[in-house]
Amino acid sequence: MTNEASLLDKYTSEVFAGMVAPVLEGMNISAAPADDPLVKEDVLFRMNTELKRALEKPASERRWVMVIDLRRCIGCHACTVACIAENKLPPGVVYRPVMIEEVGMYPNVSMKFLPRPCMQCENSPCTEVCPVIATYHNEEGIVVVDYDQCIGCRACMAACPYGARTFDFGQTYAEQLPVFEGAVVGGKTAAAYEHASQEYGEARPRNGKHESPVGNARKCHFCLHRIKDGMLPACTTTCIGRATYFGDANDSTSLVTELINKPNVIRLKEELGTEPRVYYIV
Amino acid sequence: MNKKIAYVLGAIALLIGLWGFYNRFAFGDENAAYGSIVVWGLWVALYFFFGGIAVGCFIWASLDLLFEIPALKGTGRPALWAALVNLTAGMAAIGLDIGHMERIIKAYLQPNFHSGIAQDVWGYTIFGLLALIALILAVKQPKNAAVKIVMALGLVVALYVAGAPGKLMGDNATRMYWHAGMIPVQFLFFALTTGAAMLLVIRGFFGMADEKQFSVLNISAAVLLVINLYFVWAYYSQSLAGNMPDLVNPINAVLYGQYSTLFWGVQIIFGAILPIVVLTQRRVAGGGALVGLMGLFILLGNVVARYLILIPAQQVELLDGLSTAFTGRGFSLAYAPSTTEWAVASGLLGVVILGLLVGADLLLPLFTKSQKEA
């Protein structure tokens, strides 16, 4: 069979399956095992339940990990945008870019997408080089930045093997917008929204070019402020393909534990020995 | 005459620098060209450069004030003054580079001594204090035994801080181009070379040295330049032979790519080969402006050498597609210093020129009577 014929065969079969599916309702016919938890509920519900369970434990007994299923990622950048919105990231600051790579030659071409949050390395090169202990592992093992301690030397950025830190140069998206007094649109309203960051559970309006986090290195922190309130990281809840999973790897029954203990799981630059807490399913 | 020209040049450089300083203080790092990929730019290179000159000058001063080598008699105090002036410029460069310079106090109060930067902060501070004490003692009480004690302590610290910035880079295993054991050693020889070059500039343009002293300085500078060339050959040739892309690509950019003119033209030909040829000639043993000019060429070659160690290493993709995964300020593998960065560099140069001249006129006998009259 030619490639074209094979493709046609595959898709016509799927269209046919879609047409007959309503007829088969109630006949208990399923492609997936009946006890597969993914069939019964959205994984977000399961992860939320597991998150609340983990929060009942002492912080030091949790081991937050993120798992990204590259087979499911469609490169929509929703996670990038959600992260920017959640953390009110200014221009030039990004915590979770999605790298795109075109592979192959026509006609066998495809695209690879690789979301890259902070790897939250257990042996993190970035924390070692900080001269003032402004970046460190918190009690849950997440690498955090103390904005009031950071001197902005960018040594952590030079040291990170994953390029997971960006520098805040003090720009804002709203600074170029026209202002309409009393209106719900325009520069003032946009600025108020943009200045309402709650990162690390701290209100940090952006005042001028010199107040932190301006002049600091910034990075993904797995949305600690959301986790504290029992919510999953913004990138996880926003992923339309359910390609991002989050949870406690110290919980032997959690979804992430199931996923990371499979043979098709890798970590980026594992040979460096940084022990990332972000896993990729390939 | 030389002095008047130097005053004018220094004043112009500082004037340009004032605009850069204003820009930096008013707008933070916003107008600098470094970003989130090339995170360290021209100002960090200048920190390495001026800091290296400072340490090199101190080590040269120790040959006079500590070891009392007759051929270098009288070089100690001007070299110490030059060390302090260059140290000021170096610290200003790195202070302006960091996002929150007002928090540098934290590096003293809450240091992480695993960090190369914390080590540098403490090392340069102790070094600066010792250099200042040594200079005051050398001026006020030159016969006091304390001069030698302070110089001896300072020499130990100087030998450490000469290589410390190289270690700061070498510590970084993420950048293969920096992660080499010979980088700190190379920085020590950079420092010695620029220290000698600074003395050549001072002595060559402003006199007060006999033929014997010039012979020692000229030949020392030439030998140090040969050692520097040896380092370049050893590092680049073995790295190229290793054939790892993250290491080979920056070197290719330096040897054959966008930096080849800077490397071959400024660092190698003008900054090393020409001074070696000139300084080993018998006819320049008496000093003069040509020797001073060679000193300037060596300094210029060295600042380029520091730049070419610093920048190309950061222009390597850490992950395929990372530099194009997002757009905005600082997301580029390309780097060219901005106008603000150049202006600040000019200001720092002005500080050094004027600092040397003012110090020489008010504090130290850097110039001979005949040249003062000139």
- Flag residues of chain A having pLDDT under 70: 1-40
CA angle A158, A76, A21 (to 5 degrees): 145
Query: B57: distance to nearest CA of chain A, Å?
Result: 27
**Distance, CA of B241 to chain centre:** 30
- C-alpha dihedral sign at A262, A265, A270, A273: negative
- Would you call A231 an interface residue with chain B, using a CB distance cutoff of 8 Å? no
Q: B104, B98 in Cβ contact below 8 A?
A: yes
Which residue of B22, B34, B39, B333 is the best one to mutate when testing the A interface, meaning the one whose CB has the most A CBs within 10 A? B39
C-beta atoms of A132 and B174 within 8 A: no
Q: What is the mean pLDDT of chain A?
A: 87
Backbone angles phi, psi at A26, to 5 degrees: 85, 0
A54-81: pLDDT as tens digits: 999 999 999 999 999 999 999 999 999 9
Residue where the block lists tokens 């080969």: B273
- Would you call A114 an interface residue with chain B, using a CB distance cutoff of 8 Å? yes
C-beta atoms of B321 and A94 within 8 A: no
Which residue of A157, A207, A214 is the best one to mutate when testing the B interface, meaning the one whose CB has the most B CBs within 10 A? A157
- Would you call B281 an interface residue with chain A, using a CB distance cutoff of 8 Å? no
d(CA B173, CA B178): 8
What chain B holds in terms of domains, given with CATH numbers, is 33-337 (1.20.1630.10)
Q: B91, B98 in Cβ contact below 8 A?
A: no
Q: Which residues contact A72 (CB under 8 A, 6 or more apart)?
A: A241, A242, A243
- Would you call A160 an interface residue with chain B, using a CB distance cutoff of 8 Å? yes
- Closest-CA residue of B relative to A81 is B326
d(CA A158, CA B175): 8
Q: Retrieve residue B156's tokens.
A: 């130990």
Which residue of B25, B27, B101, B326 is the best one to mutate when testing the A interface, meaning the one whose CB has the most A CBs within 10 A? B326
Give the containing element (helix H, strand E) for B95.
Answer: helix B76-97
C-beta atoms of A92 and B172 within 8 A: no
ipTM of the complex: 0.91
Give A185: exposed, middle or buried? Use CB within 10 Å, 0-12, 13-18, 19+: exposed
- Would you call B39 an interface residue with chain A, using a CB distance cutoff of 8 Å? yes
Neighbouring C-alpha atoms within 13 Å toward the C-beta of A30: 10
Q: Retrieve residue A92's tokens.
A: 């030039």
pLDDT value of position A21: 56
3-state secondary structure at position B321: coil
In this prediction, what percent of chain A has a pLDDT beyond 70? 86
Counting other chains too, the contacts that B7-13 makes at CB distance below 8 Å and 24 or more residues apart are: B7/B353, B7/B354, B7/B357, B9/B353, B10/B349, B10/B350, B10/B352, B10/B353, B10/B354, B10/B357, B11/B350, B11/B354, B12/B350, B13/B346, B13/B347, B13/B349, B13/B350, B13/B353
pLDDT value of position B149: 97
d(CA B147, CA B134): 6
What chain A holds in terms of domains, given with CATH numbers, is 40-281 (3.30.70.20)
d(CA B86, CA B195): 10
pTM for this prediction? 0.89
Q: Which of A204, A203, A200 is nearest to A222 (CA)?
A: A200
Backbone angles phi, psi at B43, to 5 degrees: -65, -35
Q: Which residues contact A150 (CB under 8 A, 6 or more apart)?
A: A130, A132, A134, A135, A212, A215, A216, A217, B99, B100, B103
C-beta atoms of A132 and B103 within 8 A: yes
Q: What is the mean pLDDT of chain B?
A: 92
Q: A132, B103 in Cβ contact below 8 A?
A: yes
C-beta atoms of A170 and B30 within 8 A: yes
C-beta atoms of A158 and B175 within 8 A: yes
3-state secondary structure at position A103: strand
Q: Using CA atoms in the order A212, A218, A223, A225, what is the torsion angle rounded to 10 degrees? A: -20
Which residue of B23, B29, B320 is the best one to mutate when testing the A interface, meaning the one whose CB has the most A CBs within 10 A? B29
- Closest-CA residue of A relative to B26 is A209
- Would you call B22 an interface residue with chain A, using a CB distance cutoff of 8 Å? no
Which letter does DSSP use for residue A204 in this model? B
* Share in percent of chain A as helix, strand, coil (round to 5): 35, 15, 50
Residue B272 CB neighbours (<10 A): 24
Q: Using CA atoms in the order B146, B147, B150, B153, what is the torsion angle rounded to 10 degrees? A: -110
Q: Which residues in chain A have Cβ-Cβ distances shorter than 8 Å to B105?
A: none
Give B3: exposed, middle or buried? Use CB within 10 Å, 0-12, 13-18, 19+: middle
Backbone angles phi, psi at A18, to 5 degrees: -65, -35
Q: B305, B271 in Cβ contact below 8 A?
A: yes
Q: Which residues in chain B have Cβ-Cβ distances shorter than 8 Å to A176?
A: none
Query: A74: distance to nearest CA of chain B, Å?
Result: 14
- Flag residues of chain B having pLDDT under 50: 368-374
User: Taking a contact as any Cβ pair under 8 Å apart, which residues of chain A between 251 and 270 contact chain B?
Assistant: 268
Separate counts of helices (H) and strands (E) for chain B:
14, 0
C-beta atoms of B39 and A157 within 8 A: yes
Which letter does DSSP use for residue A41 in this model? S
- Would you call B176 an interface residue with chain A, using a CB distance cutoff of 8 Å? no
- Closest-CA residue of A relative to B38 is A158
d(CA B292, CA B282): 16
Task: Provide the residue count of chain B.
Answer: 374
Q: What is the DSSP string of B5-68?
A: HHHHHHHHHHHHHHHHHHHHHHHTTTT-S--SSS-S-HHHHHHHHHHHHHHHHHHHHHHHHTT-
